[in-house]
A and B are shown apart, each in its own frame.
Chain A
Amino acid sequence: GESVGLHLPTLSVQEGDNSIINCAYSNSASDYFIWYKQESGKGPQFIIDIRSNMDKRQGQRVTVLLNKTVKHLSLQIAATQPGDSAVYFCAEFQAAAGNKLTFGGGTRVLVKP
């Protein structure tokens, strides 16, 4: 069943195109960032992470970019596939704030065949 919000920002993308999902984080002291993917009825799954001493990290078909100056994080998915349809969340970790991991509101990605 549906486990995520009905009013999330939605990104519609054609199969095979690249997707870019953006996230603004709140705390300049955050030192670790993670992107999660959540499919309907399931818990979030780890995609890729990046530490604050980096500005780019690449995985398989995914790239995360970190711009600390404007507190912005993005996830790029290359050659988007139908299986990429899901809700994507960014999360920021602050060791100085008691080791809390705080999530952003999420973006729904719909892949059109």
Chain B
Amino acid sequence: NAGVTQTPKFRVLKTGQSMTLLCAQDMNHEYMYWYRQDPGMGLRLIHYSVGEGTTAKGEVPDGYNVSRLKKQNFLLGLESAAPSQTSVYFCASTARGNSPLHFGNGTRLTVT
């Protein structure tokens, strides 16, 4: 099993550009999460999903949108990138809420 796979691994955007980060899991997990990690800030929850077709806001949802059209995929979109969105983005999944998350290896995004 591949586990949780994030694409791309690296990306540089100019301010105002848009992009979509893809997260795919092959473990048939119901729950999926998007976090961002900044220096000195730990991991902050952006959006999450408790099942196919559902999404919910986390701590820092502004400037991001998500979709969970298929159970195995959770997409994170930036409609108009800003330098403040420069960060490392991690996707995670789990079978149920109160069980350990499985993380991908991250996407490093730089917005200039």
Residues of A that sit less than 8 Å from B by CB: 1, 3-8, 31-32, 34, 41-46, 49, 51, 89, 93, 95, 98-106
Contacts and interface: CB of A to CB of B under 8 A. Distances in A.
Given A3-B88, A34-B100, A103 B50 contact: no
B64 to A, nearest CB: 16
B15 to A, nearest CB: 23
Contact of B104 (A34, A43, A51): A43
Nearest to B43: A103
**Majority secondary structure, B binding face:** strand
B74 interface: no
A6 B90 contact: no
A42 B88 CA distance: 10
A54 B101 CA distance: 20
Given A43-B106, A46-B100, A93-B98, 13 more contacts: A1-B108, A4-B37, A7-B40, A34-B101, A41-B106, A42-B105, A43-B90, A43-B92, A43-B104, A89-B42, A95-B97, A105-B40, A105-B41
B42 A105 contact: yes
A5 B41 contact: yes
Contacts, number: 74
B101 A101 contact: yes
In order of increasing CB-CB distance, the 5 nearest A-B pairs are A43-B103, A99-B97, A5-B40, A46-B100, A5-B39
A31 B42 contact: no
Contacts of A5: 38-42
Nearest to A7: B40
B95 interface: no
Contact of A103 (B31, B42, B97, B100): B42
A44 to B, nearest CB: 5
A79 to B, nearest CB: 24
B62 interface: no
A59 B104 CA distance: 24
